[in-house]
Amino acid sequence: MQRRRGFTLVEMTIVLFIISLLILIILPNLSGQRHRAQRIHKSAMETVVQGQVTAYLDDHAGAVTVSYADLERDHYLTLAQVKQAEQEKIPPRG
């Protein structure tokens, strides 16, 4: 009688169990890293917007308020930056 080569059902079950455990450990960590990256990006965007608002107010001495339209029109922010700041609900404060 010739013995067949291959994996038994028990061996395959153990391998699948180990892979499942690894996935359960890795997925929450990836999700946490994504949220952390989004927070860092928002903070950086707030810094950029605030810097450009300050520059705009310095250049336009009579201006009291600033809008994203003003910042985009006078090339302080790009259209992509304006869209991103609006999406993240960052107000242009002066």
Tens digits of residue pLDDT in 65-93? 899 999 999 999 999 999 999 999 999 88
CA distances from 77 to 8, 45, 53, 64, 92 (A): 63, 11, 9, 18, 11
The model scores a pTM over 0.75: no
What sign for the dihedral angle of Cα 53, 40, 90, 81? Answer: positive
Which helix (H) or strand (E) is 46 found in, with range? helix 9-59
pLDDT for the residue numbered 31: 82
pLDDT of 3 reads: 73
Q: Break the chain into its structural domains and give their ranges.
A: 9-87
* Chain mean pLDDT for the chain: 90
For tokens 């903070």, name the residue.
43
Residue 93, Ramachandran bin (φ over 0: left; ψ between -120 and 50: alpha; else beta): beta
